[in-house]
Amino acid sequence: MSFIDHLEELRWHLIRSVASILVFAVAAFVSKDFIFHDLILGPSRADFFTYRKLCELGAYLGRPELCIDKISFTLQSREMSSQFTTHMTVSAIIGLVLAFPYTFWEIWRFIKPGLYEREQKNSRGAVFFVSLLFFVGTLFGYFIAAPLSINFLASYQVDPSILNEFDLASYISTLTTMTFSCALMFELPMIVFFLAKAGLVSPEMMKLYRRHAIVVILIVAALISPPDVMSMMLIAVPLLLLYEVSIYISRVVRKKDIDRLNEELNN
C-alpha cells in the first residue's frame, strides 16, 4: 500500500472509532437520570456502595470510625450554561469509556498488519487484556479512589464556620481525574509486556531502578491526584503493586523467549 492508501485506511478506522463513541455518548445523553443521579452523583451521597461496605466493614471489625454515614458538602451550578455543558461533557466521557474496547480494536487492526508474524503471535489477546485492565482500573478508580478522595476533601475544614459548597464542574473534574488516572495506570503490566517482548526492559533492570521508579510513581501520583496525601497514596500504592507485577511479567516473558530460542537452536 502507498502512503496515501495507508492514510485512507487510517481515516476509516478513526471514523468508525469516533462513530462508536458518538453512539454510546448519545445513549448516555438520553439516559440523563441514571447517568447523573446514580452514576456521577453516587459518590456524593452517603448511601453509595463503597460507603455502605465501609460501614459494614467497620461494624464487623468493631471500628466505627471506618463508617462514612454523612457527606458534608453541597453541589452548586454557578454558571447559566454549566449544567448543559456538563451534561454534554459527561456524555462524551461515558461514550469514550464504553467504546474503548472497540476503539482500541480498530486502532489495533490498523497496526497489526505492520507486525511480523512472530510479533502478531506474541500480541495475541492484546485487545482483550488491554480492555480488561482498562475496565478494572476504571472500577477501582470509581469505587475506591474517587469516593474516598471526595469524602476526604469534602469533610476537610480549616474552620467550622466555612461551608463546603463546591461547583459541579469541580466535583466532576475530581471524579473523572481519579477514575481515568486509575484506568490508565492499570495498563502498566501490558506496557511492560510489550516492552519486554521488544527487549527494551528486563526484570533485572526493573529491580535495579525500583527506587527510581518509586520516586517517579510518587511524583505522578501527586500530579494526577487531588492535593491531599490520602488521594496520592490511593494512586501510588496500586501503582507500586502493579510495578511489582510487571517485574514478574517481564521475567515470564524473558523465560518464554529463552525457551523458544533454545527450541529453535535444538531443531
In a domain, 213, yes or no: yes
In a domain, 137, yes or no: yes
Whole-number pLDDT of residue 114: 75
> For the whole model, what pTM was predicted?
0.86
In a domain, 61, yes or no: yes
In a domain, 23, yes or no: yes
Whole-number pLDDT of residue 28: 96
Whole-number pLDDT of residue 137: 92
In a domain, 228, yes or no: yes
Return the higher-pLDDT residue of 264 and 160: 160
pLDDT bucket at 155, cuts 50 / 70 / 90: confident
Whole-number pLDDT of residue 227: 63
**Range list of H helices, 99-160:** 100-111, 117-122, 126-140, 146-155
Average pLDDT over residues 173-185: 88
Mean pLDDT lowest for which of 70-74, 81-85, 100-104, 222-226?
A: 222-226
Look at residue 20 and tell me whether its pLDDT is greater than 90: yes
Whole-number pLDDT of residue 42: 92
In a domain, 74, yes or no: no
The mean pLDDT of the chain is 87
What letter represents residue 203's amino acid?
A: P
pLDDT bucket at 257, cuts 50 / 70 / 90: confident
Whole-number pLDDT of residue 1: 66
Which range is most confident: 62-76, 176-190, 246-260?
A: 176-190
Whole-number pLDDT of residue 267: 66
- Distance set, CA 224 to CA 72, 144, 146, 187 (Å): 24, 16, 12, 16
Domain with 38, as residue range(s), is 3-68+79-266
Average pLDDT over residues 130-147: 92
Give one word for 187, left, alpha or beta, with left for phi > 0 and alpha for psi -120 to 50: alpha
Rounded distance between C-alpha atoms, residue 66 and residue 54, angstroms: 6
pLDDT bucket at 228, cuts 50 / 70 / 90: low
Rounded distance between C-alpha atoms, residue 92 and residue 106, angstroms: 19
Average pLDDT over residues 226-242: 78
Whole-number pLDDT of residue 15: 94
In a domain, 238, yes or no: yes
Structural domain count of the chain: 1
Q: CB–CB of 102/20 below 8 Å?
A: yes
Whole-number pLDDT of residue 150: 87
Q: What is the dihedral of CA 141, 145, 149, 150, to 10 degrees?
A: 40
Average pLDDT over residues 59-63: 85
Is 75 strand, coil or helix? strand
Q: Which residues contact 124 (CB under 8 A, 6 or more apart)?
A: none
Burial of 224 (0-12, 13-18, 19+ CB in 10 A): middle
Average pLDDT over residues 135-154: 88
In a domain, 73, yes or no: no
